[in-house]
């Protein structure tokens, strides 16, 4: 005679059914999801057993709900930042919060080299001598009339 294998919570037979073990106790999928599923931050629905649960700082998302707050592109397997508890892709975060180059006015992306002088920032390649147009880099220069020589 075989031993019965029942859901720890509802006591229904698990014979021939999917189940989840938690702390060595078997649960039918329905009971497990109602008792232990995380709730998605975005859609507020439970994240089921057959769905990927993505988490960041004790917050959870369905795979389809894990996206940039601004552009709505997926952040699955991509680097991201947060601002005021909102998830942002690197591009949206940089466009909104990163320094802008004093010369070309484009965003200076995090991780790229930048030059700073008197409160202004430049891409390394934009920080050039006004006269010869060569990048100044770490060489000494003479600032004159908001230009560098």
Fill in the DSSP letter of residue 21: E
Which residue, chain included where needed, has tokens 């859901």?
7
Domain identity same for 123 and 145: yes
Domain identity same for 126 and 144: yes
Domain identity same for 44 and 85: yes
CATH number, domain of 69, equals 2.10.110.10
**What pLDDT, on the 0 to 100 scale, is given for residue 125?**
84
- Contacts of residue 33, Cβ cutoff 8 Å, sequence gap at least 6: 46, 48, 49
Pairing of strands 147-148, 59-62: unpaired
pLDDT digits (tens, 9 = 90+) for 17-41: 999 999 999 999 999 999 999 999 9
Question: Under a CB-based contact definition with an 8 Å cutoff, are residues 8 and 30 in contact?
Answer: no
Which two tokens mark 108?
């200076």
Domain identity same for 108 and 80: no
Percent of the chain with pLDDT over 90: 48
Which two tokens mark 70?
């601004």
Domain identity same for 32 and 44: no
**What pLDDT, on the 0 to 100 scale, is given for residue 118?**
81
pLDDT digits (tens, 9 = 90+) for 36-87: 999 999 999 999 988 899 999 999 999 999 999 999 999 999 999 888 999 9
Domain identity same for 51 and 76: yes
Alpha-carbon distance values, 132 to 30, 91, 128, 149 (Å): 72, 33, 8, 8
Evaluated on CA atoms 13, 17, 23, 24, the torsion sign reads positive
Q: What is the pTM of this model?
A: 0.62
Domain that holds residue 1: 1-36
Number of domains in the chain: 3
Alpha helix (H) ranges present in 71-124?
90-97
């Amino acid at each position: 005679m075989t031993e019965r294998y029942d859901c720890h919570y509802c006591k229904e037979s698990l014979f021939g059914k999917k189940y989840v073990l938690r702390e060595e106790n078997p649960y039918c999928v329905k009971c497990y999801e109602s008792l232990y599923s995380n709730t998605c931050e975005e859609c507020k629905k439970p994240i089921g057993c057959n769905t990927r649960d993505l988490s960041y700082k004790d917050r959870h998302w369905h795979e389809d709900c894990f996206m940039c707050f601004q552009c709505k592109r997926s952040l699955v397997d991509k680097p991201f930042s947060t601002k005021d508890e909102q998830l942002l892709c690197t591009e949206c975060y940089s466009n909104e919060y990163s320094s802008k180059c004093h010369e070309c006015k484009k965003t200076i992306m995090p991780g790229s080299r930048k030059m700073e002088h008197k409160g202004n920032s430049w891409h390394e390649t934009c920080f050039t001598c006004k006269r010869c147009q060569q990048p100044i880099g770490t060489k000494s220069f003479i600032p004159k009339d908001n230009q560098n020589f």
